[in-house]
Structure 1
């Protein structure tokens, strides 16, 4: 940005810059018009959102962006933005036809989702506008580390209707963060006109009352107005450490994408109007009218661009496709490995500590271990209170408000800004209370799903190093939104680890491993056990528990119970009672880790006992126990002497009245009944 003059016009801008811009604009238009031909020939580029009509503002975004300090989150129409920021024609084509050489992610993501993570041009998903939260998270890191630069978030005006966009702008305003939100307004969200999106003709007006936020408007069809506005917006955001919205008025010359037919909802007058206001044609006319370029010079650029695109096309066609085997690469990064506690099954002498104490002290120890560790969530840093259950008590006092702070009651914001902040530095580790109770996590699901496939989608270029803490489960008389457990639903998404400890030492050890590992881990905390004496154990200061390693809580030979979380203690109690009654020696396996799952330990125990009972707090129907049972019947069927049985909650919500709760959740009696039936089979 520093080498660009402050004020631009057709007369004041130097010729070299004017010609460079024309080359970028013409290259962008050439690729824009070439893209549909690949689809027609069944070569690729199956999704293409034309940039024509957005040329001025996109050129400006890319020219103002400084990859040495800034972060850019382009959206799917930002072809010219990416070229202007430095991507080459061949990199654009590699992405368009989904080749393995695509710098955005090797063909793993939809075409037209251009990126170059090594330059801080981020790989953005297809959930329109969701990257606004990631830009806010990066801007938080820029401010926290007192660095130069801003985060740019670019999107169409219709995506501003998404709730998480409001959350992002509200959060950037509250925290006073250096973000430039660019709304490229072409009047349509696919076929939906903006009058059906918002009451204000200019959607940026919806945000003008927000404190610390500057709102600017420009003609996105005009190169000079766009450039001057973006320069001013970027300078103001960086110098004042506050957010800016730039609303750029554009036109959409073509259909929304190659699967849309705009003639079905736009009349001939409108189609003629948008072509008349073609930004590229206007810029070309200006260069000639003000004698800043000759026809011959422009023709020479156009011929040079045509030759460049031909070369890029040949390279694109010759580039390799991703291999089928590569689908298994970069699902999850390798976790932190403990050398001292490789299996996490040690027993220790000492004073038992409650599960909540183990979590609190491990959080503090890891914050001391890594100064680039942060935690935020709802209600977690208010005087002497540390979350609704006080798990983070005392942390803000020790580590300060920059590292430990409250978030708005907006779960998508909590998750989305975590995704953003960890992009700034690979050493950063973020812990979030994704919601006060696991049941309230559902508003964050869009950002959760987004984060699960970041590592895979970027081909390993970005790992979201986040631990999501959720107080989970019932047995507290909480009822709806306070007593559910959600691991069965979350386990359907590849790209995330899920752990669910039952004892204080495992809770501490798994939390330490989660916070030291790359990638995202959901850490489910059985809140009914926070202060339960039966979950208390001695905890060494450095204890670590690896992912995917089950723990045998009781040895046996006649049957195995597989369990985790709140029901682990019930299963141990039932097994002890069965032994006292002389009905059998039951092995109890505490899985601890849902994903990855210790399949080896499961199968080994089934082969030894020949009978399997799966017990968890979640509903039997659709619960994670179905996956465990399926693996047993698939891989150890010949060792079974009885069908695999399951015990869990009824297929109902959890009621608030204690009588209703007891009727829903599993208990010792139900587990005992199932175990006796299985032992007698």
Structure 2
């Protein structure tokens, strides 16, 4: 065996003389149906019927036919990109399903008209709904590959994309991770030489972009002519077989041509000359395949004409059916934003009267993780510094997990936050039983590289019309009061709560941390779990914790009842608000302190009822006042309880600056007991 696996010759298993006539007829028919729809798609837009985004695949016919033919919906997972029309048709989608997607009908099997046209999918067949963030699905394919390996499943994960999207950093993260973890993933690069109007030479120094990865260990690279059916079939069959047999990744670089413009919003004649346009037209794969079938006497002209006429008639018939299909109901826009969460029967309000030994917040998190890992053997956790001998995470939240549950369920991730988060999304697709916890970054401030995957997670459930939601809990150590400075003490919830489709929780006490984490791990869909790291080992956050304690999402907790002033808070400042309220009580004032615990969903009922009772409201959080989450809380109160107010809703938080490193600067920036006391006192006097 050659040392450089990517130099191995591909066995020629498919040949026009050896392939049976029935198979050849099937391939020709699929290619003809696909091309008919590909050429018809722009007319829908011209007639104002839909298909406002169409990326023609003509010139990619060979490789796309091959991808679909080697894909097995019973064992494999397929991640097509927006140009993969023939791939999806070859994989089993019907012509009608393609058109329903194109004209965004309610019966579109991929998204019910919610996703952009030309994004074909059928989640129930493991043909995944891929977003418009080009190439980001490589991370999902790797996550599925990890599950395939772990569960010893017979199959592969196939990811398809254009060569220009390989320039994205997360594609490198995906291929690096797949080669490092040795996962059965087939990455297909359909190289037509252009990223919209940008030629390949402006993307990469290598003429073959796959060769950028030639130094990666455990990775095989196969080159093929993506315009040729048989070369493409051989390449894909070999790639799949090799990935399954060796449990390692493969890149298939398919040389294609783009016959038409990038999409119907592009005019390729503005950047391609007549010579090039004539050249790519001459290399039309469908025409070449037809000529081969005739040259080798596998079919007569009459037989191929008959297949062509049959294909055209099918497209006409399904066109008429698709036009009659229902449009999406505008009242359905709030369906499938988030799956229904796990509901606690024992602790429906997330309250308890447990007494006894107090446990610290870090102990609550660690203990709950272990309990849930024992309860559900399909639970996994990974991140940076998660499992190194006796160390478990930068703050030791995961301490002891790997020792008990093993390296395949508890393991380290690379310093690549997008990879950590994206592969969690991917692995959760393998089975709805799977629950994943990731430490998205060592500090919440470092999470920004994963924002692309965070955004992806938030609209998966809505975009797929309720067919898929990643069962992932993203843990982040948040906030300041540790002298950490930039990238170690900032708060990020103000930005992250602006995205629909993810739950966001922020506990202040050990019992709530345990209860919310348990609910997160038992619920379907994604949860962002923000942990006030300054309270990990703080005695003021320690509490008794009932066995199997659960806290529902969207249920605030009244920490102190009062009648003169409502203070709404969460996280680190909860304890400061309680302290200031107790001091004011000694001075004759009654202050109610509400700990939100859950930011999304938000317990509006408790907030509004308290505002009506006291007439004055102060919203306090550690994050910046300007554009902080408190702005939403204040606006909600003003909108829904204005007539009950005896003063303006006030907000108190950090200054509109970064959090500085020097403790003097940190104290000047962050809220503290004194600032909060003064804010309460001033509002009481209003």
Same fold (TM over 0.5): yes
Secondary structure class of the residue paired with 2:671: coil
- Paired with 1:313 and 1:611, the residues of 2 have a C-alpha distance of 61
| 2:608 counterpart residue number | 603
Secondary structure class of the residue paired with 1:16: helix
- Paired with 1:666 and 1:203, the residues of 2 have a C-alpha distance of 51
| 2:35 counterpart residue number | 29
CA deviation string 1:409-440 (max 9, x = no partner): 00000010000000000000000000000000
| 1:636 counterpart residue number | 641
| 2:14 counterpart residue number | 8
- Paired with 2:405 and 2:490, the residues of 1 have a C-alpha distance of 32
- Paired with 2:515 and 2:645, the residues of 1 have a C-alpha distance of 33
Secondary structure class of the residue paired with 1:327: helix
- Paired with 1:165 and 1:441, the residues of 2 have a C-alpha distance of 18
Query: Displacement, 1:217?
Result: 0.1
1:202 aligns with 2:193: no
| 1:619 counterpart residue number | 624
Query: Displacement, 1:387?
Result: 0.3
| 1:271 counterpart residue number | 277
Secondary structure class of the residue paired with 1:453: helix
| 2:586 counterpart residue number | 580
CA deviation string 1:311-343 (max 9, x = no partner): 110111000000001100000000000000000
- Paired with 1:210 and 1:46, the residues of 2 have a C-alpha distance of 40
Q: For 2:418, which of 412, 418, 422 is the aligned residue?
A: 412
- Paired with 2:545 and 2:328, the residues of 1 have a C-alpha distance of 47
- Paired with 1:438 and 1:325, the residues of 2 have a C-alpha distance of 36
CA deviation string 1:120-157 (max 9, x = no partner): 00000000000000000000000000110000000000
Query: Displacement, 1:29?
Result: 0.5
- Paired with 2:576 and 2:553, the residues of 1 have a C-alpha distance of 23
* 2:503 and 2:527 in contact (8 A); partners too: yes
- Paired with 1:374 and 1:223, the residues of 2 have a C-alpha distance of 41
Secondary structure class of the residue paired with 1:636: helix
1:646 aligns with 2:680: no
Q: For 2:546, which of 540, 543, 546 is the aligned residue?
A: 540
| 2:438 counterpart residue number | 432
Q: For 1:370, which of 373, 376, 391 is the aligned residue?
A: 376
Query: Displacement, 1:603?
Result: 0.3
1:321 aligns with 2:327: yes
- Paired with 1:195 and 1:466, the residues of 2 have a C-alpha distance of 39
Secondary structure class of the residue paired with 2:530: strand
More displaced 10-residue stretch of structure 1: 245-254 or 668-677: 668-677
* 2:352 and 2:546 in contact (8 A); partners too: no
Secondary structure class of the residue paired with 1:430: strand
* 1:547 and 1:593 in contact (8 A); partners too: yes
Q: How does 1:92-241 map to 2 (within 5 A)?
A: 92-241=98-247
- Paired with 1:261 and 1:633, the residues of 2 have a C-alpha distance of 50
* 2:349 and 2:552 in contact (8 A); partners too: yes
- Paired with 1:347 and 1:506, the residues of 2 have a C-alpha distance of 13
| 2:3 counterpart residue number | none
- Paired with 1:66 and 1:469, the residues of 2 have a C-alpha distance of 35
| 1:71 counterpart residue number | 77
- Paired with 1:514 and 1:18, the residues of 2 have a C-alpha distance of 51
**TM-score of the superposition, structure 2-length normalised?**
0.98
Q: For 2:562, which of 545, 556, 563 is the aligned residue?
A: 556
- Paired with 2:358 and 2:163, the residues of 1 have a C-alpha distance of 57
Query: Displacement, 1:529?
Result: 0.2
| 1:589 counterpart residue number | 594
- Paired with 2:353 and 2:550, the residues of 1 have a C-alpha distance of 12
Query: Displacement, 1:346?
Result: 1.2
CA deviation string 1:580-619 (max 9, x = no partner): 122x100000000000000000000011111000000000
1:400 aligns with 2:406: yes
* 2:568 and 2:593 in contact (8 A); partners too: yes
Query: Displacement, 1:540?
Result: 1.5
* 1:6 and 1:231 in contact (8 A); partners too: no
| 1:669 counterpart residue number | 674
CA deviation string 1:51-82 (max 9, x = no partner): 10000000000000001000000000000000
- Paired with 2:49 and 2:248, the residues of 1 have a C-alpha distance of 45
Q: For 2:53, which of 22, 47, 56 is the aligned residue?
A: 47
Secondary structure class of the residue paired with 2:467: coil
1:311 aligns with 2:317: yes
Query: Displacement, 1:450?
Result: 0.5
- Paired with 1:232 and 1:221, the residues of 2 have a C-alpha distance of 17
Structure 1 runs of 4+ off > 6 angstroms?
A: none
Query: Displacement, 1:541?
Result: 2.1
Query: Displacement, 1:6?
Result: 7.3
- Structure 2 gaps of 5+ residues are 1-10
- Paired with 1:100 and 1:580, the residues of 2 have a C-alpha distance of 62
Query: Displacement, 1:9?
Result: 1.0
- Paired with 1:409 and 1:50, the residues of 2 have a C-alpha distance of 37
**TM-score of the superposition, structure 1-length normalised?**
0.99
Secondary structure class of the residue paired with 1:557: coil
- Paired with 1:345 and 1:557, the residues of 2 have a C-alpha distance of 22
CA deviation string 1:626-645 (max 9, x = no partner): 00000000000000000001
Q: For 2:391, which of 349, 374, 385 is the aligned residue?
A: 385
CA deviation string 1:1-32 (max 9, x = no partner): xxxx9711111111111110000011110000
Query: Displacement, 1:386?
Result: 0.4
- Paired with 2:353 and 2:461, the residues of 1 have a C-alpha distance of 35
RMSD of the alignment, in Å?
0.7
Q: For 2:468, which of 462, 473, 491 is the aligned residue?
A: 462
| 1:514 counterpart residue number | 520
1:502 aligns with 2:508: yes
- Structure 1 gaps of 5+ residues are none
Query: Displacement, 1:350?
Result: 1.1
- Paired with 1:8 and 1:187, the residues of 2 have a C-alpha distance of 26
| 2:5 counterpart residue number | none
CA deviation string 1:427-472 (max 9, x = no partner): 0000000000000000000000001000000011001100000000
| 1:294 counterpart residue number | 300
* 1:502 and 1:565 in contact (8 A); partners too: yes
| 1:569 counterpart residue number | 575
* 1:61 and 1:81 in contact (8 A); partners too: yes
| 1:345 counterpart residue number | 351
In the comparison of the two structures, how many residue pairs are matched?
676
- Paired with 2:407 and 2:327, the residues of 1 have a C-alpha distance of 48
Secondary structure class of the residue paired with 1:112: coil
- Paired with 1:597 and 1:160, the residues of 2 have a C-alpha distance of 40
